[in-house]
Structure 1
Amino acid sequence: MPGYAPPMSGYAPPMSGYAPTMPGYAPPMPGHAPPMSGYAPPVSGFPQPQSEMTAAANPVTVVAIQPPSRHTPGPQPPDYKMLSYISCVFCPLLALGAIQASERSRDSYQHGDYGKAFLQGRTARFNAISAIVIGVFGAVVFTVMFKMGVLNI
């Protein structure tokens, strides 16, 4: 067979068409021919593959037009960047998540993903407020424990 290496000893020669019927399976339906080699005959109305010479003789100019955006840019949703930085005073670890979400909100808005920008801004606000609440609660607990004499610093 052209294109194939000669069969190795101990192996059966390659077969054309269908493989032999396996036990327990039905034979192929009548009317199905073995696969043909090469291309099918040309179908009218559809472009046919061209050789490189034919393609070079018929230059085609392709103009790609970007479809209009489905979303019109509105006002930037709040990203709560200042609140995120202020929350660093109260609980720095949670405030880092707020700062990251705030940055992702600005990036999403600049890339045109307005829904994601809004959600990231909301996440930044939640993280910043949580950092402030946890920080204030921790300070109150620490002060009460210090005043009661539980902590001797």
Structure 2
Amino acid sequence: MTATACSQGGNGQSADAGPPQVIAEHDGLWLAGQPTEADIQAWADAGRTVIINIRPDDEVAELSFQEDVAALGAGMTYVQFGVGGSDGFSRSMTSALAFQLSMNEDANIVLHSESGLRAAHIYAAHLIESGQVTPEEADSLGLTPGGNLDPVIMRQLSPQYAEAFPE
């Protein structure tokens, strides 16, 4: 199980002509940074059906458009719950993601945060907690552009990671 990395150009468009803002793909799920309204339509046109936005409410409020309205207008399902930022990190957030993924298991999902890094971390924590990968395998998935997950964040999101890599 490996992820496909997608490099980004300076204008938010993928340098390799991949989907806009997508930093990685794993088992059909896209991990992405903050989309524009045009990106959301491009995702829908590419067959994506669900957006899970993990930016906290205060970050979402600062956007120049209503992402939920744009997603619904593109025919997509939209889910938002905060991870990181003013909401911090906790293991309950990993459980919330697991619930959303189970509710949309046959959907083509985009999981996003501001840059995609929080999305990568919580998704890696989900993979660990659901037994799909071991904590030792998580970094090798290539979910982040740099390839390495932040152990401080991972310990907060995943009990199994915290046990495998104590402080």
Same fold, judged at TM 0.5 (above): no
Comparing both chains, which one has the higher relative contact order based on Cα–Cα distances under 8 Å and sequence gaps of 6 or more?
Answer: 2
TM range (shorter): under 0.3
> Which structure shows the higher strand fraction?
2
Highest CA radius of gyration, 1 or 2?
1
TM-score by length of 2: 0.17
